[in-house]
Chains A and B, each alone.
Chain A
Amino acid sequence: MPGLKRKDILGLREMTVEEIDLILNTAEALKDLATRPVKKVPTLRGKAIVTLFYENSTRTAKSFELAAKYLGADVIHVSAATSSVQKGETLKDTARNLEAMGVDAVVVRHSMGGAPHLLARSLRASVINAGDGIHEHPTQGLLDMLTIRQKKGGFKGLKVAIVGDSYHSRVARSNIYGLTKYGAEVWLAGPSTLLAQGFEEYGVRTTTRVEEALEGADVVNVLRLQLERQEKGLFPTVAEYHRFWGVTAERLRLAKPDVLLMHPGPMNRGVEIATAVADGPQSVITEQVTNGVAVRMALLYLLLGGGEAA
């Protein structure tokens, strides 16, 4: 019987197809809650959730916050920039103190890969990874998958082009781990200096020509050029990046006519994505945001909804 047999959500890599199906099905059932006049159910009444963010975020933090509130839980947000972290408190100590105040789940974003795993081992509370370094961003991967499943009915045999800076992208990694479990054909395209390596064993194909990846694609997921993570010299200029690897209307015509255009946000318009494309008929970027709340509600329900035994 259902319920996730795990305390934490750290990444899609270690999840099974059955677990992902359960999460996506639950998200589908919960999605309508956000469009009702009364957007609140008592399911997680009395549960306390903290979003502990060591990196900036609007979308992910607010999406978790709303998801928790729609399910009736209480949420507080702790941002490293305005907390005791500034006084030198370690990640573990900060999280333990929050747990000592009775928190049931910690949603953590950190610039170091593995930070959520460290917390998961030292806390009794559930830990949800909201992005760790360049490692994984499982809730983004799941909301991308939910969006694709809604529009395409499944994943098997789909050509999914992930375009841009996959090297620095935890979104790309979570997408790869999730989609390849279902038999999707994943392509990475971008400048050779910014391509994630080592995914051959997942059947991922890599190209420096964006056109090759877009050709006949069912899904195009455009990655944000993470200007805050760039070292010098990985690509010449932003304008040149756009000229060679930007997803423009002209390039998108190489893909299938019913291609889904996705972007995890926030967008650098005119850099990795042309405005006409971002706001065009194939864009499902707004649906992604809506699905984000549904996926996070599903995870909170599945992790916190049951009793001790669940």
Chain B
Amino acid sequence: MSRPKALLMDATQMNRALSRIAHEIIERNKGTEQVALVGIRRRGIPLAQRLAARLKAFEGREVPVGSLDITLYRDDLSELASLPVVHKSEVNFKLPGRVVVLVDDVIYTGRTARAALDALLDIGRPAAIQLAVLVDRGHRELPIRPDYVGKNVPTSPRERVEVHVTEIDGEDFVALYDNE
């Protein structure tokens, strides 16, 4: 593992960004009655769970949380040298009538979000889909725009943004690396 060239967010900043996003979700949807969160594997899932905990704390209502594995919907499978492991998607609530907030750690080209939209729409037809990301690093290749952004970070395609979360990586921070 190479050394980060810049720390983009520490644990406190991540917490504040998630709290703000939770408030924005409530404000935009006039509460959380219709809202459900779906985390995109892998680091979108703990982020979705943290947002759900905040929505419950702020509004007093449980919000359903699901997870999405987008492997089967990727558009680059035939270009990958090694095949990704397929995992289960778990969306154990009815989608019609729901406003689903897709949650991911980083948005870059937008291709993951595109795959997630297709994966979700094959499971059901929600009333609306919104997109929340912790970091927007730019360089979109598709007409996709997140509704909620923790932090905008200008990057170069030769760089890599890594989001570390306690649930998976043991600590919380976001950092910028040079691609080897």
Contacts and interface: CB of A to CB of B under 8 A. Distances in A.
B72 interface: yes
Nearest to A28: B88
B122 A41 contact: yes
Nearest to B69: A29
Contact of A3 (B73, B83, B119): B83
A298 B69 CA distance: 15
Interface stretch (A32-40, A163-171, A197-205): A32-40
Contact of B86 (A37, A301, A310): A301
A42 interface: yes
Interface residues of A, number: 26
A208 B87 CA distance: 44
A101 interface: no
Interface stretch (B42-50, B57-65, B74-82, B154-162): B74-82
17 contacts: A2-B83, A26-B85, A29-B87, A30-B86, A36-B122, A37-B123, A41-B72, A41-B122, A43-B73, A43-B77, A71-B72, A301-B83, A302-B83, A305-B83, A309-B81, A310-B80, A310-B83
Contacts of A36: 122-123
A306 interface: yes
B41 to A, nearest CB: 11
A40 B73 CA distance: 10
B125 to A, nearest CB: 9
B interface: dominant SS: loop
Given A29-B87, A43-B72, A43-B77, A306 B82 contact: yes
Interface of B: 69, 71-73, 77-89, 118-119, 122-124
A29 B77 contact: no
A88 interface: no
A307 B79 contact: yes
A2 B72 contact: no
A3 B81 CA distance: 9
Interface in A280-296: none
A78 B70 CA distance: 33
Contacts of A37: 123-124
A25 interface: yes
Nearest to A47: B78
A1 interface: yes
A302 B85 CA distance: 9
B88 A42 contact: no
Nearest to B119: A41
Given A42-B73, A42-B118, A310 B85 contact: no
A42 B80 contact: no
B84 A2 contact: yes
A59 to B, nearest CB: 24
Given A2-B82, A301-B86, A306-B78, 6 more contacts: A28-B88, A38-B123, A41-B119, A42-B72, A42-B118, A305-B77
A306 B86 contact: no
Contacts of A307: 77-81
B69 to A, nearest CB: 7
Contacts of B80: 306-307, 310
Contacts of B79: 307
B152 to A, nearest CB: 31
A305 B86 CA distance: 11
A38 B122 contact: yes
A40 B118 CA distance: 11
A41 B121 CA distance: 11
A306 B124 CA distance: 27
A33 to B, nearest CB: 8
A306 B123 contact: no
Contacts of A301: 72, 83, 86
Contacts of B118: 42
A227 B86 CA distance: 40
Contacts of A310: 80-83
A1 B122 contact: no
Contacts of B85: 2, 22, 25-26, 29
Nearest to B76: A307
A298 B83 CA distance: 12
